[in-house]
Amino acid sequence: MLADDLPIVLDRCRPEPLAVQVADALRAAASGGLLRVGDRLASTRALASRLGVSRTVTAAAYDQLLAEGWLVGRRGSGTFVTAAPPSARHRPATAAAHAPTSGRPVAAAGAIDLTSGRPCLDALDRAAWRRAWRVASDRVPAGEPDYAGALEFRQAVVDHLLRHRGLPAGADQVLATAGTTDALDELAALLPAGASVGFEEPGYRRAAETLVARGIRLVPVPVDGDGLRVDRLPSGLAAVYCTPAHQFPLGPRLSAARRVALVERARAEGFLVLEDDYDGELRYDVAPLPLLAALGPDVVAYLGTSSKLLTPTLGVGWLVAPPAMHAELLAARERAGMRPSPAGQLVFAALADYGDLARHLRRLRAELTERRARVVAALSGTGAALLGDAAGAHLRVTLPSAAAERALMAAAAEAGVLLQGLLDCHRCPPSAFGVSLGYARPPRPALDRGVAIVADLVRRAWSDPVSG
Report the site for a second copy in 274-293 (rule: CB under 8 A).
283, 287-291, 293
Q: How far is the CB of 462 from a second copy (least distance, A)?
A: 30
Q: How far is the CB of 384 from a second copy (least distance, A)?
A: 26
Q: What x-and-dash track marks residues 181-220 binding a second copy by CB under 8 A?
A: xx--x---x----------------xx-xx--x-------
Per the CB < 8 A criterion, the answer to whether 253 and 390 are in contact is yes
* 231 is a contact residue toward a second copy (CB under 8 A): no
Instruction: Kindly tell me which residue out of 37, 376, 407, 413 binds a second copy, with binding defined by CB under 8 A.
Output: 37
* 316 is a contact residue toward a second copy (CB under 8 A): yes
* 78 is a contact residue toward a second copy (CB under 8 A): no
Q: How far is the CB of 80 from a second copy (least distance, A)?
A: 10
Please tell me the number of Cα atoms within 13 Å of 197 on its side-chain side: 33
Instruction: Kindly tell me which residue out of 253, 258, 259, 339 binds a second copy, with binding defined by CB under 8 A.
Output: 339
Cα–Cα distance, 265 to 425 (Å, whole number): 26
* 436 is a contact residue toward a second copy (CB under 8 A): no
Torsion of CA 188, 190, 192, 195, to 10 degrees: -20
How far, rounded to the nearest angstrom, does the alpha carbon of residue 343 sit from its chain's CA centroid? 16
Cα–Cα distance, 83 to 70 (Å, whole number): 5
Report the site for a second copy in 350-379 (rule: CB under 8 A).
none
* 160 is a contact residue toward a second copy (CB under 8 A): no
* 340 is a contact residue toward a second copy (CB under 8 A): yes
Taking every pair of C-alpha atoms in the chain, what is the biggest distance, in angstroms?
A: 88
Instruction: Kindly tell me which residue out of 1, 331, 377, 452 binds a second copy, with binding defined by CB under 8 A.
Output: 331
Cβ proximity to a second copy, 118 vs 460, nearer residue: 118
Give the binding range for a second copy (CB under 8 A) out of 27-35, 194-202, 229-237, 423-431.
27-35
Instruction: Kindly tell me which residue out of 13, 15, 101, 108 binds a second copy, with binding defined by CB under 8 A.
Output: 101
* 109 is a contact residue toward a second copy (CB under 8 A): no
* 239 is a contact residue toward a second copy (CB under 8 A): no
Amino acid symbol at 447: L
Per the CB < 8 A criterion, the answer to whether 115 and 409 are in contact is no
Cα–Cα distance, 201 to 194 (Å, whole number): 20
* 169 is a contact residue toward a second copy (CB under 8 A): yes
Concatenated DSSP letters for 88-146? HHTPPPPGGGTS--SSSPPPPTT-EE--SS---GGG--HHHHHHHHHHHHTSPPPSS--
Ramachandran class of 194: left when φ > 0, alpha when ψ lies in -120 to 50, beta otherwise: left
Per the CB < 8 A criterion, the answer to whether 406 and 100 are in contact is no
Q: How far is the CB of 101 from a second copy (least distance, A)?
A: 4
